[in-house]
Amino acid sequence: MTTQIQTVAVVGTGVIGNGWIARFLAHGYDVVATDPAEGAEERMRKAVDHAWPYVEELGLAEGASKDRLTFEKDLSKAVADADFIQENVPEIEELKQTVLQSIDQHAKPDAVIGSSTSGIMPSELQANLQHPERFVVAHPFHPVYILPLVEVVPGKATTKEHVEKAQGFFEGLNMKALLVRHEIEGHIADRLIEAIWRESLHIVNEGIATTEEVDQAFIYGAGQRYAQYGPFLTFHLAGGEGGMRHMLKQFGPALKKPWTKLEAPELTDELYDKVVSGCEQQAGDLSMSELDQNRNEFLVRLLDLVKEYWPEDQKKEKV
Amino acid sequence: MTTQIQTVAVVGTGVIGNGWIARFLAHGYDVVATDPAEGAEERMRKAVDHAWPYVEELGLAEGASKDRLTFEKDLSKAVADADFIQENVPEIEELKQTVLQSIDQHAKPDAVIGSSTSGIMPSELQANLQHPERFVVAHPFHPVYILPLVEVVPGKATTKEHVEKAQGFFEGLNMKALLVRHEIEGHIADRLIEAIWRESLHIVNEGIATTEEVDQAFIYGAGQRYAQYGPFLTFHLAGGEGGMRHMLKQFGPALKKPWTKLEAPELTDELYDKVVSGCEQQAGDLSMSELDQNRNEFLVRLLDLVKEYWPEDQKKEKV
């Protein structure tokens, strides 16, 4: 399987699909996108225009151009010549399986197929494909054109060579292609995000704090650290010279304390309204695009800063 | 209660207590520290020396000096002249109550007493004090001399004027003094951190991923965002134009899916070893102080960067 990836197809052009498109274009690929929704092409081109200044600041590959993006209503035509196909349709298992079967049917047999699913396991999604060996979950993070992580999750039928081709492709997009070696609902990252999310909903649901207070309690302390070190190395460092060994002695007992809730709250209308109005209040006079621009300008600079300090790169430098 | 805070006492000089000392000194206070442990003064002075370059980079107040730190073995003498006293003894409720009673007994009656407790509720800690009205939980984040958050949690007996005095004092230390309006175990931030931590332990415990993989799955995606926006505004933005309203429709159903575990795992010897050795492996050849320096250099620069982008400051600019 020596095919070089030259053309990429994107199936489903929502927030995630459009983020992928900007990233693929910025790295010099020809991109064919498809989506059955009314007005999808216009929204897609707007989204790519919006992302473009940020991908330019991060650095364009030679020959990278927005002109290399085409929209093709017919899925079968859109995927026909692609070497890599990324599926980003809504998170409904039946829908994803139907779309993936049609991609599998019309794509070149050795084209790699990735799915952006947040939580569905690859073995379930590849179950009914003619060529399941070339299917992987490739789960990115919003905004996809800035954030480096993609979780690459092979299913039972996925072959090693296709996993490696996918990983190599994503690394070529300047991404951190994390191989998730065991299938699990939510993969890895979304399990942690979901845990934060459920606990945050409990706190708001019980009237302990507003959404803004919960966000402040996170970003001004823990959040500052998590751009660089994860939950484990953070505690390892908090333990002083004793590291994690000391931390587990000191905070191990907290595992038995009611420091977090363990069921998800009912998403009642009341909770729904608390959360929605809380966020709208937080946004204040800022429009969604002002908030979005503010986040992006920050992330581009943060990314440039944090790169110098990632622990594994420090290790490499030391070796 | 018009007393200006001039002298601060720090009771308990572990990682957190020493972090407070560096922050108090950097903002021009006289600091008296006490700790019964053998060699505590030497460790304290080392810790302050270690922190000093970072607090210098963040900016020293006029007259700020390490020479304004004294160590006093006798707790009753250490707290006698203090206008503000911060308690940082180990997270054992009985021990904290005993120490707080002795602080309460020897301190000036209008001195404010703060406790760094990670999870104990203030009403329990103030229950046996002669002057409970001046006690608050004041929970900071490691490294205390860099990170801005302090959760200020009043107990049932705490008066408004003492809460405001504490908040004003912390804001004068260039901190985000978040008032936690309702008592709850773990306050707010540690409930979110504990949720991430428990889920991370489950993933490692079940052999899904190593500690390093879990950390990578967090820092290269979600963690990059959490330095700026918390769980709510992050989802609000991920929803595109529809914001949180759209997100709850799209991801509300995930609350019913097994995307996170809901009990803490048994902290077995096997799990203990997996976590400890996993972290030591992550650290590689880097010493604890190299890791620590790397984190601090990063956080100082990150803090400077992220300040320009904090949502509430953006709102202020707009108004």
B185-238 pLDDT, tens digit each = 889 999 999 889 888 888 887 778 888 888 889 988 888 778 777 787 777 666
pLDDT below 70 — which residues of chain A? 1-3, 236-245, 248-249, 251-256, 258-304, 306-319
Round to whole Å and give the CA distance between A270 and B239.
Answer: 20
Q: What is the largest CA-CA distance in chain B?
A: 60
Q: What is the pLDDT of residue A56?
A: 86
Looking at the domain that runs over A189-284, which CATH code has it been given? 1.10.1040.10
Which residue has 């230390």 as its token pair?
A: B173
Round to whole Å and give the CA distance between B252 and A156.
Answer: 29
Closest chain A residue to B90, measured at CA: A250
B167, B169, B173, B178: CA torsion to nearest 10: -10
Nearest chain A CA: its distance from B133 CA (Å)? 22
Round to whole Å and give the CA distance between A184 and A162.
Answer: 20
Considering just the CA atoms, what is the radius of gyration of chain B in Å? 21
Structure tokens at A66: 């927005």
Q: What is the pLDDT of residue B148?
A: 84
Round to whole Å and give the CA distance between B232 and B194.
Answer: 17
Task: State CA A152 to chain mean position distance.
Answer: 11
Fold type of domain A7-179:
Rossmann fold (3.40.50)
Contacts of B59 (CB under 8 A, 6+ apart): B26
- Is residue B265's pLDDT more than 70? no
CA dihedral for A42, A48, A51, A52, sign (positive or negative):
negative
Q: Is B263 near chain A, with CB under 8 Å?
A: yes
Instruction: Identify whether the C-beta of residue B18 lies closer than 8 Å to the C-beta of residue B48.
Output: yes
Q: Is B17 near chain A, with CB under 8 Å?
A: no
**Residue A197 to residue B235, Cβ atoms within 8 A:** yes
User: Is A226 buried (19+), middle (13-18) or exposed (0-12) by CB count in 10 A?
Assistant: buried
**Residue B298 to residue A286, Cβ atoms within 8 A:** no
Q: What is the pLDDT of residue A252?
A: 61
For residues B266-291, average pLDDT:
53
Nearest chain B CA: its distance from A79 CA (Å)? 26
**Residue B224 to residue A284, Cβ atoms within 8 A:** no
Report whether A17 belongs to an annotated binding site.
yes
- Among A231, A244, A311, the residue with its CB nearest the CB of B214 is A231
Higher pLDDT, A51 or B98: B98
Contacts of A287 (CB under 8 A, 6+ apart): none
Residues of chain B neighbouring A186 (CB-CB closer than 8 A):
254, 257-260
Round to whole Å and give the CA distance between A146 and A134.
Answer: 26
Q: What is the pLDDT of residue B292?
A: 47
**Residue A314 to residue B302, Cβ atoms within 8 A:** no
**Residue A221 to residue B259, Cβ atoms within 8 A:** no
**Residue A182 to residue B221, Cβ atoms within 8 A:** no
pLDDT tens per residue across span A15-56: 899 999 999 999 999 999 999 999 999 999 998 998 898 888
Using DSSP bridges, classify how beta strands A149-154 and B135-140 pair: parallel, antiparallel or unpaired.
unpaired
pTM (2 d.p.): 0.84
Report whether A14 belongs to an annotated binding site.
yes
Q: What is the pLDDT of residue A205?
A: 79
pLDDT tens per residue across span B182-191: 999 889 999 9
Domain range summary for chain B, segments of one domain joined by +: 7-179, 189-284
Q: What is the pLDDT of residue A255?
A: 66
Q: In what order do the strands lie in the sheet with B149-154?
A: B69-71, B30-34, B7-11, B84-87, B112-115, B135-140, B149-154, B176-179
Q: What is the pLDDT of residue B268?
A: 54
- Among B189, B198, B290, the residue with its CB nearest the CB of A218 is B189
Instruction: Identify whether the C-beta of residue B115 lies closer than 8 Å to the C-beta of residue B138.
Output: yes
- Is residue B261's pLDDT more than 90? no
- Distance in angstroms between the alpha carbons of the first and the last residue of chain A: 34
Q: What is the pLDDT of residue A264?
A: 37
Residues of chain A neighbouring B283 (CB-CB closer than 8 A):
233, 236, 243, 311
Q: Is B229 near chain A, with CB under 8 Å?
A: yes
Nearest chain A CA: its distance from B213 CA (Å)? 8
Lowest mean pLDDT among A248-252, B64-68, B298-302: B298-302
- Is residue B123's pLDDT more than 80? yes
